[in-house]
A and B are shown apart, each in its own frame.
Chain A
Amino acid sequence: MSSQAVPSSAAHGHAHGFRHEALLYSGPDEFLAGTLAFIEQGLEADEPALVVVGADKIRRLRRKLGADSDRVHFADMAHIGLNPARIIPAWREFVDEHSGPGRRLRGIGEPIWAGRSPAELIECQRHESLLNLAFADAEGFRLLCPYDVDALAPEVIEEAHRSHPVLVEAAGAERESTDFRSVEIVAAPFAAPLPEPPEPAPERAFQAGTLNDLRGFVAEHAAAAGLSQPRSYDLVLAVNEVATNSVRHGGGHGRLRMWVDGEIVISEVRDDGHIDLPLVGRERPAAGQIGGHGLWLVNQLCELVQIRSFPTGSVVRLHMHR
């Protein structure tokens, strides 16, 4: 992990493109100092701003901003970012609604906090990298992502160096990250390893003619795991969509495994296909669009979706809380 100072003019030279910054702060006071300066700078320039952080931080920011807080949009990251794959669509909605010729936008998003599970953390880090791809052409959009260096593990901060081209200290000093991962690397199939279930999990093979049987298998295991009826139905629908993708695009067949990990029901679909669309499931399908609905729907139904594409095939894991 390394970084180097960049001239202020260069650091601010992203006015016509997407600028993705990591704010490395230590504790609540530095969080406020770093984010308030960013927000107030935007308010002075009359730039629309959306702040997506935890509810407690929103309260503190509102108190500090006073009447100006009405000029800033706020959203609770615990809600929007419960499934990190839902965050990019939220930013997209903000950008589409407020962007215009020559207009600059500001955002603050803190998807990573100390309470994230290991599985959530990896998906959040993937989300942070995908932002660079999703908004590469977003004119004048500046996004600041706070990282609490006291609360987060050093390797999490190291990954922030790889997913953000610019690093900012709470006092305002800016550096260019020399570890920044290029969008070409981000666009490659994501093949981070997935842990095996703690014990052998019930498994069912499927193909086009057995999707009905597969749905019954999911419903049975969802009920046995204690999911409510509506949640069971959501899971049946989600697994069906992933399995349908396997039938259509993944070699015509696949295998489903289901198990419970603590309070989470995990469903895993494996097939022989390859997923080479890095933003799949993170872009709201346009009206009249053919295709692209399946993984979008799955992301709306599940608390976490892990998509992997290995040389041997693809894996999609769905997490649903009991």
Chain B
Amino acid sequence: VESLSIQESVLSDELLRRLIAMGEVDVLVGLATYNNAGTVGHVVRAAQTAFAKYFQRERTALLVVDAGSRDGTLEAVRSTQVPEPSPVLASSALRTVHQIAVPYHGVPGKASALRSILSAAELSRARVSVVVGSDSCGVTPEWIGALVRAVREDGFDFVSPLYHRHKLEALLPKNLVSPMIRGLYGISLREPLGGENALSARLITHLLGQSFWEVEAVRSGIELSLPLTAAVGGFRLCELALGRRESGRGGRVPVSAVVEQVVGSLFTCLDLHQSYWQAVRQQAEVPVIGKLPQHASEPMRISRKPMLDRFRSAVSELGSILENILSMETLSETRALASLSDRDVRFPDELWVRTVYDCAASYHGAVIHRAHVLQALTPLYLGRAGAFVVDNLERDAADVDLRLEELCLAFERLKPYLLERWKAMDGR
């Protein structure tokens, strides 16, 4: 009864009416859209093809929840033609494939959209739910099929994607989010910010009962809280090798906003899960399904100088703020690093880990306003990213992976440092 009342409050009247008319389903694919008219048709076709190709006997549904797009996204969804059975496909769904495309109600944002999708999945008793990024042009029917199989056949509760990435791409997850999660939660997730995920019914019920949906700092980077909450709840996680993800995620958003959303969400999760990660002593295995080809090694145009310049000017301009956040030792080493030339600059792993841990502890202790901690971290991250590019530009992808492994180990090794600083903040 409680679950139903939560769903009722999350779902709009129209969506609720459509879901009741639809009844129960086995597989639900959900998309959260906002001005994605250009890409959503491809994703819808991929989902419909997957239903026809892999789930002919299943009750399937495609749910598109829209945040009020003005570019005709919903019309694009409705006008997308379901592919006819082709000689290659040679099959079509034997049962009705449901498709619902509605605007959602509530606070605009990905968290509300995701909550609507998960609530709809719970209400329609979907055994497997797949959440797909609406801006992803690389989604294929095979991806959706593999995501569903990982839950239904292999028994995992949360399937995290594994993409084929350039060695110098995704610098924030590689240098901060992923190694920090590994160091503290003891789980290895290379794409913790998701994109395409699959979730079991029991995990969805667990997630919908959590309080993080109401925490603003978590809502802004909601993707992170799903695997972390699943890990804390003892659910089975795995990584699934998908392929190249074609999207411009974060490309147009200022880096300070990206850091504020993603790292703010991670640091807030640390607060929510502190009793869990503080007790973690060893790594938990996260199985990997499938294998990716070698990293793409085509040349990539990256301006590292602006990143390093912003780092340098931050060390001088934001000195009074950094003094509140970083330990004396970390700050003095950071100042020494800022005095080096572009060619010589190397951001040592240990210094970077201490910088991140200092920021996490300061965020926890609210030594200054929490948003200010994240804004001060942004240029430090740019320094690390710039140095990472300088250091790895000429290395091959396998070598870069080895160096990232060393970074993960540094995050694990320095966990006592964070615990010490965390407790110092609690004891103030």
**A and B are partners in one complex rather than unrelated chains:** no
